[in-house]
Chain A
């Protein structure tokens, strides 16, 4: 029961953080390509 409820918050939070890290990684790569 607890996992069904709280697990969703955790999984969604992890996906959002994952996206944010991916975005920074891509932008870092673009800056390195430009320089």
Chain B
């Protein structure tokens, strides 16, 4: 217990110091929301990877290997392909303008504040509900690590998360991501050989896994069609989500983005593979767990020595925090930048905008904590929204973002229809549709169909809206500039 307390105290002190340091470096809203748009490939790649790796990776992926066997691991292929798509297709055109938020891109491309507000509300509501599950997960880790009551763990986790994110903004999140990624890699790299030693080395792993569960190393548990559908859902859920897109805006230029994404691919894939091998170890060591989700905490507590086990629990905490803080920044920017500043306070001073930004992040972080403590949204709803989160983001934003930068005919009305119908159809499918099909697929199909049909039925967009994303439009735009200037990277 003492070791655990020391490891966690050092971790939390370090993260809080990062928050204070970042506060001193944050001078305006560009620093606060996109780290000044000046990140190199190292920090940029790490923050993208840390955002990707969530509590779901450490607990959910291990649980999935435990339940479905190794064939689930093949879903991983969709992750590097999604990032390759981001680097090759999405980023070059998206960086035609550097925005502070995804809804800000929506407004510029679709010449509509209404479209921006709709995007902001979808992001804010989905994230605020999703945050409840993240806060509860943080509280659970505190419960497992220290035996404190769940409510105390939840409050402590939320306060710490809010403290450094509110004061330090994106800079604090990026530096914290760096520390958290080191802890995740270190925890996993050290734990893996120790866990393998428990079953007599790597050579025995496949043999014992097959003996314990004959389907662990077969395709049988997950047919190819289901694997493909899940992979597609992972792909669509990874691309064009707001927390990923602001990280592209945070990097200096395309050169840094391409290299950063290579680092992201290497880190995410390596970490996932190591965690999945740990999952296979858990199949051998704990074949009769009531739920696979307990596999990783069991390895941390029952298999690893105290210090390494504490490190592993800190790694799980890091994974939850790195995703939660990224979502907090995105939801906070949706509230203060896309809704409040856009509609109610357009000409505030930089200092005032920064204060409003901090208040926005505080509200979107404190509200889920209150919901959890008062019992609002308890039970199935939270679980439902966790599963739905990626589906909702993909169904809302894939068509408007990708279509917006590649299809000149895409219109404001098309984008609004795609977001509203995409999000409602994905939600409706989850409630009443067939369980065998992930809601992202019907949501995606309806969103794309609405996007195309409504765009074709409405007047084409003005040239000024297309100019930043379609090079051939720029000649006309230069002759008669009507669009806002792009935000340069600091120091560029």
Which residues from chain A sit less than 8 Å from chain B, CB to CB? Answer: 1-2, 4-5, 8-9, 11-12, 15-16, 18-20, 22-23, 26-27, 30
Contacts and interface: CB of A to CB of B under 8 A. Distances in A.
Contact of A1 (B80, B83, B206, B259): B206
Nearest to B71: A4
Nearest to B69: A4
Contacts of A27: 255, 258
B81 A15 contact: yes
Contacts of A8: 70, 73-74, 76-77, 273
B269 interface: yes
Contacts of B81: 15
Interface in B66-108: 70-71, 73-74, 76-77, 80-81, 83-84, 87-88
Given A19-B262, A23-B259, A23-B262, A12 B273 contact: yes
> Could you tell me the dominant secondary structure of chain B's interface residues?
helix
Interface in B406-450: none
Contact of B70 (A5, A11, A19, A20): A5
25 contacts: A1-B206, A1-B217, A2-B206, A4-B70, A4-B218, A5-B206, A8-B70, A8-B74, A8-B273, A12-B80, A15-B84, A16-B80, A16-B265, A16-B266, A18-B84, A19-B83, A19-B84, A19-B262, A19-B265, A20-B262, A23-B258, A23-B259, A26-B88, A26-B258, A27-B255
Determine which residue in B81, B219, B258 has the highest number of CB atoms from chain A within 10 A of its CB, and name it.
B258
Interface of B: 70-71, 73-74, 76-77, 80-81, 83-84, 87-88, 206, 210, 217-219, 255, 258-259, 261-262, 265-266, 269, 273
A12 B73 CA distance: 11
Given A4-B217, A4-B218, A5-B217, A19 B74 contact: no
A22 B265 CA distance: 14
